[in-house]
A and B are shown apart, each in its own frame.
Chain A
Amino acid sequence: MSIKEQRIAEILVDHQGREGSLLPILHDVQAEFGCVDADSEKLIAQGLNLSRADVHGVVSFYHDFRPSADPRPEVQVCRAEACKARGVEAIIADAEKAAGERVRVSTVYCLGLCSAGPAARVGDRLHARLDSKGLVEVIENAR
């Protein structure tokens, strides 16, 4: 048994007997491997007695699950209405330049910090009231 098979088997055991356990399982797999790839989908489908198509349908529906791992750190920048009203669009170009190939800058719609945008998230850390300089700093410090 490969390490992956073993770890996924453990995750499946953790959630045994839970109602509607697929999403919590996918979250655990995503956290463990940084993605839910085709191999994982197959193992999860076997474990839950679902078809691979069913599992793939769920994985591909949600933005949080990725088909392949990305080793780069991720900075999520909110670009929803409230942050737009506070000027996020004007600082995106600088952010992308600072990120280069090293950091993945992705778009998120709302972090709930709507009176203090532009806002960004790195892991579970939030940053608010960012200007161009602040966002570039967040990106440079992202690990």
Chain B
Amino acid sequence: MIIRISDDALARALGADALAQAFAQKGHEVQRTSSWGMQWLEPLVEIDGHGFGPATLDDVDAILDGSSDKAIGVIVDHPFIARQQRLTFVRAGRTRPLSLEDYEATGGWIGLRRARQIGAEQIVEEVTASGLRGRGGAGFPAGIKWKTVANTPGAQKYIVCNADEGDSGTFADRMVMEGDPFALIEGMAIAGEAVGATKGYIYVRSEYPDAIGKLNQAIALCASIIAPFDCEVRVGAGAYVCGEETSLLNSLEGKRGEVRAKPPLPAIQGLFGRPTVVNNVLTLAAVPHILAEGGSAQYGSLGIERSKGTMPIQLAGNIKHGGLFEVAFGITLRELIYDIGGGTESGRPVKAVQVGGPLGAYIHPDQFDIKFDYEAYTAADALIGHGGITVFDDTVDMGAMARFAMEFCAAESCGKCTPCRIGAVRGVEVIDRIRAGGRPADSVELQPVMHNAPKTGRLPEQEIGLLTDLCETMKFGSLCALGGFTPYPVMSALKNWPEDFMPGQEGAVQKVLDGNDA
């Protein structure tokens, strides 16, 4: 019997290796595939298309004799899989990540071959026509970025893949790198073809040891196929801010990962001052499909408004059915969390949902009808980011989460710009004071010589005014998204859950916020 078990990092963290060994010892052939993305069922055992999960060593005999109560039926018919529109993750669960044979058999390298035939201009045109936007968070049209690099003269150009997926609640990049590494490499080779670059770097965070290993092996295996394009993995060193493209470039150059001011755009002066395409893993992995015959039109036909194609959405946190759900833009949060995710795993009511990682807004259940679309989220003072959705039940203290957002920003700030470096530290202090009910007058304020200073200390309402001001400053004054977007989780928490900041005085918070808006 052929037993298929994922070798994705999540499945391995839950004992997939031991399980695979147990089946092998019983004399069965075990194939290690990519993950289907139904993470609550990992480790998932697949036999003839039927799934069993989450499987433990105790289930091995029952699975083999067909009496297991972990059976979930035919995997492709499972509602979680059947409801998806998988383009980027079309191979998830179906192929062995490092098998060139599997990759070819499922349409691999077709996009690259066609790209080489149609030439640079046509490639850029098709990517532009598909409506593909950067999946890293900013949503910048990929075709326009490529065109800029293509039109900038330069003897050496680079393709840089941003695989520094540091956002909590996101793991789609990791799943591509571990589950379908050739698709990412093919996407980079196509980008190289489009802009005239022969060198590519994949910057992977050091927290992803499995992905680093798989990519290195995959690059060695397909080197002759992508030649003259050449790809190399570079490992980050634990700095969250290196997910920002300019600080990533500095890090690749061997410098401190400090953000650069833009302009000049990386497309014109990027890595080592040369024209550089910097794209996210999901953006580049979507490219092979787009470049296949008719792929561009199909991609562009999916989605709504200006958000075209599909988005690999990651359901995480306290959710019953967590995992990877790729679907066309336009789906509502309500569908994602309740219909697909099954609500919280703890069984308690949902209190808040953070979309877009640590820099994304906390969304209240009242707003769950918002459609998954770049512009709709921007209008709601929120962001899609990298498509991660983290669910919290009613035990969460939103005041503590707002404080953590500031704390995280302080810990990870690169230090280049003042609003982020100092603002984040002050933000933690202000939130602490709000939660402590303000502060008494300090010894300096009480000095007779300080006759203009208030002698009454500061009320929590006044501290909220300060926090609002601080957030405005960070939002508009920071160089990059770390300082610029940290106000999203902080202010959304304050607006939606004032009771977690000033218990019993929610009205007071609202009054300050209203006063500031006016």
**A residues at B contact (CB < 8 Å):** 19-24, 26-27, 57-58, 61-65, 78, 80-86, 108-117, 119, 121, 124-129
Contacts and interface: CB of A to CB of B under 8 A. Distances in A.
A82 B13 contact: no
Interface stretch (B63-71, B89-97, B131-139, B317-325): B317-325
B234 A116 contact: no
With a 10 A CB-CB cut-off, give which of A27, A81, A128 has the most chain B CB atoms: A81
B237 interface: yes
B261 to A, nearest CB: 18
B80 interface: no
Contacts of A128: 10, 13-14
B478 interface: no
Contacts of B393: 85
Interface stretch (B249-257, B286-294, B450-458): B249-257
Contacts of B404: 81, 84
Given A82-B168, A82-B390, A121-B207, A61 B256 contact: yes
B482 to A, nearest CB: 12
Contacts of A121: 207
Nearest to B206: A64
Nearest to A62: B237
| Count class of interface residues, chain B | 35 or more
Given A126-B210, A129-B14, 8 more contacts: A22-B254, A22-B255, A82-B317, A85-B316, A85-B390, A86-B345, A116-B13, A119-B13
B12 interface: yes
18 contacts: A20-B254, A22-B254, A23-B236, A24-B234, A61-B239, A61-B256, A62-B239, A80-B169, A81-B357, A81-B358, A84-B396, A108-B238, A112-B174, A114-B316, A115-B316, A115-B323, A124-B209, A126-B12
Contacts of B210: 124, 126
Contacts of A114: 168-171, 314, 316-317, 322, 388, 390
Contact of B237 (A23, A82, A117): A23
Contacts of A124: 209-210
B208 interface: yes
B317 A81 contact: yes
Nearest to A79: B404
Contacts of A113: 9-10, 13, 171
A14 to B, nearest CB: 14
Nearest to B396: A85
Nearest to A54: B255
A115 B322 contact: yes
B235 A27 contact: yes
B272 A81 contact: no
B373 interface: no
B13 A81 contact: no
B166 A81 contact: no
B203 to A, nearest CB: 10
Residue with the highest number of chain B CB atoms closer than 10 Å, among A24, A57, A82: A82
Contact of A112 (B208, B238, B255): B208
A82 B240 contact: no
Contacts of A23: 234-237, 251-252, 254
